[in-house]
Structure 1
Amino acid sequence: MKKTTLIRSVCMVGMAFVFSCSSNESPERETPIRATPEAFAQLKSTSLGNKVQNFQLDASQTGFFTTENGVFFTINGNCLSKNGNPVTGMVDVQIVELFERGAMLTTNKPTMGTLPNGDKALLISGGEFFLNITQDGESVDEDCDMVATIPSDITGGADTGMTLWKGNGGDQDCDGIDDDCDGFVWDQNVDPNGDPIEAEIQDGDGGERFYVAPFGDFGWTNVDRFFSDPRPKTTILVEVPEGFNDENSRVYLSYVGEPNALAYLDTYDATTGLFSEHYGQIPIGLECHVIFTSKENGQWLYGIKSVTITDGQTVEIADTDLNTANESELEALINGLP
């Protein structure tokens, strides 16, 4: 009897040891699946759709809408027209607001602005906004300026250097919420004299400060200034795993200390397999994070590398650097970077 009990005890201990060992071992991750361009585009489109805020406006009135982050929109319904005729009845208003780099990444709306010479450089954002108005699913026109009044404390306080920008997709249409805009860049709004239109700073009754952004077109509007750094600049290259390219993946740069900005590498060489920021605008000595994104099994596939920029640097992203996360997890991770 005692012998039987002893044998059972030894067996149970042995089984527990085997279970403990196997449960503590982390199985090696399989090689990530290469997404199709269509699947990756759908992932970005879904993220953007998740951020739409819906309102309604009586076209005979002026509408006042406050977003989830406290941005105040003023829209004159009497200025709406459709096929050249004044709009009557109710219309649907769609608004998207992006302030942090995590949401800028998942919606593919980085803060890269066009320089006077046509090159692109990083913008520091006071807020990115999409606005569209439809009636019965048909687009309407706006014949007056709309106004967004934006609390500046969302992005760290008022900055007197902010100007207004319009989202531009190059040869792609970026005015609709479902438009695929992989060539997205910001162009500065200018007055009839060609001078940049400044974002006026307005003081509130309680001492708070706001950016006032008038804009006359539906689509994407931004309050920005160019990132400034006196250090010498360089171009960097990023090598991604074989099977990924500019159709099924993207590479972004998050600058340390700039939570309201997101750069991206907008060129890809199919021969070398390298992404590049080919304008030479990245400061040498800059601390940043190189962020690779794609899709795998319905989730975001990502890799993040912390780097300090050196002259002519090449950064490698390998399969072993990649992990998966859902939309909110990835945004929190990106927002949490220093």
Structure 2
Amino acid sequence: MKTNLKNIGLVLLASIALVSCSNDDNDNQNSAPSAAEFANIRQTALDNLTQEFTLVAEDGATTFTSEKGVQFTIDGACLTKNGNPVTGSVAVEFVELFDAGSMLVTDKTTMGRLPNGDMGLLVSGGEFYINATQGGVELDITCPMQLLIPSTLTGGADNTMTLWDGTIDENGNLDWDEQGADPVGQNGVFVEGTALNAPYYAFFNSFGWTNVDRFYDDPRPRTTILAEAPNGYNFGNSAIYLHYDGEASTLAKLDTYNDATNQFSEHYGQIPIGLECHVIFATEEAGQWRYAIKSATIAAGDVYTFTMGETTLGTEAQLVAAINALP
């Protein structure tokens, strides 16, 4: 009888353990947000960083100064609405991103298209979004806008920077393509002067996302890495990013997801072996951010796994601060 009771007890303990594990898995899945909820918290972050201005088209060239000190000029005489010249008041939206924390919460990373079509990390001199509307209708512009960007915001002037156009792909990633040579010579970016903190001047003639960038330069051999989110989390309701230590104005993203293996991937093989970095998991929970940050030194074929026990629940400001405090 004692043996039977002991066996029954062991069976009960095993059953409880199985139920407990199952409940943990279910709790993870139940707490996972929908894709719409994750998209909403990113949109809220972008809305929080969107600055609003107004110009009158008949006033001609109007210059605005952003919260961070960027000056941008739009010539109202060059604005068109459905192909016709614009008159009257125009609403202008402006976003400026200089730090990895703001790039993460808005999902506006610095991944540029290489000549072979792969994506590589860009070092940013600022990501900018400019849009103009009238009565809710988006406008076009027929002459270049001008940006004056203090290089103190980017760690100093860099003469190798070029202009990049941003587009959102079918997976929601912001991809950057370098602007081609301008045959008229009206567009481009250059440093004014030779001082360390000389400003950038940028000229471009289309609304949307524009970036002052160059490719990250590292001679070391490259590899592909994989990462696994907690159970119940995927590309739709979470994201995994890579912060290169020492590069405050960059943020890479593991921009593909394998449903069969439940793994995120940087599948281009562009991560330098030996790179000191931080791997970041981010998602939404009850209107806040849930995230985890792992320190790493990249080895060939690394796989990083996140668990819910490693995550922290915090506000947008707390997450931005945590990312911007990384080395």
- Name the TM tier (shorter chain): 0.7 to 0.9
2:164 maps to 165
Offset at 1:98? Answer: 0.3
Q: Deviations over 1:110-138 (max 9, x none)?
A: 00000000000000000000000011221
2:174 is aligned, of 181, 184, 187, to 184
1:51 is aligned, of 45, 49, 52, to 49
Code of the aligned partner of 1:42: N
- SS, match of residue 277 in structure 1: strand
Offset at 1:203? Answer: 3.1
Offset at 1:182? Answer: 1.8
Are residue 121 (structure 1) and residue 120 (structure 2) matched? yes
Gaps of 5+ in 1: 1-29, 172-180
Code of the aligned partner of 1:182: G
Q: Deviations over 1:9-57 (max 9, x none)?
A: xxxxxxxxxxxxxxxxxxxxx9551010000000000100011111111
1:230 maps to 219
2:100 maps to 101
1:71 maps to 70
- Counterpart CA distance in 1 for 2:62 and 2:47 is 23
Q: Deviations over 1:59-107 (max 9, x none)?
A: 0121100101111101110001112211111111110000000000000
Are residue 134 (structure 1) and residue 124 (structure 2) matched? no
Say if 1:207 and 1:271 are closer, same or farther in 2 by CA, change over 3 A: closer
Offset at 1:198? Answer: 5.0
Q: Is the 8 A contact 1:162 1:224 kept in 2?
A: yes
Q: Which runs of 4+ in 1 moved over 2 A?
A: none
Code of the aligned partner of 1:97: E
Offset at 1:331? Answer: 0.3
Gaps of 5+ in 2: 1-25
- What are the residue-to-residue correspondences of 1:248-327 with 2, within 5 Å? 248-327=237-316
Q: Is the 8 A contact 2:188 2:204 kept in 1?
A: no
Q: Is the 8 A contact 1:161 1:225 kept in 2?
A: yes
Q: Is the 8 A contact 1:62 1:78 kept in 2?
A: yes
What CA RMSD, in Å, does the superposition of the two structures yield over aligned residues? 1.9
1:247 maps to 236
- Counterpart CA distance in 2 for 1:281 and 1:31 is 36
Decide which moves more: 181-190 or 154-163: 181-190
2:88 maps to 89
Offset at 1:319? Answer: 1.2
- SS, match of residue 268 in structure 2: coil
**Matched residues, number:** 298
Q: Is the 8 A contact 1:162 1:198 kept in 2?
A: no
Q: Is the 8 A contact 1:39 1:295 kept in 2?
A: yes
Q: Is the 8 A contact 1:31 1:319 kept in 2?
A: no
Offset at 1:170? Answer: 2.6
Q: Is the 8 A contact 1:145 1:215 kept in 2?
A: yes
Q: Is the 8 A contact 2:156 2:197 kept in 1?
A: no
1:150 maps to 149
- Counterpart CA distance in 2 for 1:119 and 1:166 is 16
- Counterpart CA distance in 2 for 1:103 and 1:85 is 36
1:337 maps to 326
Q: Is the 8 A contact 1:150 1:211 kept in 2?
A: yes
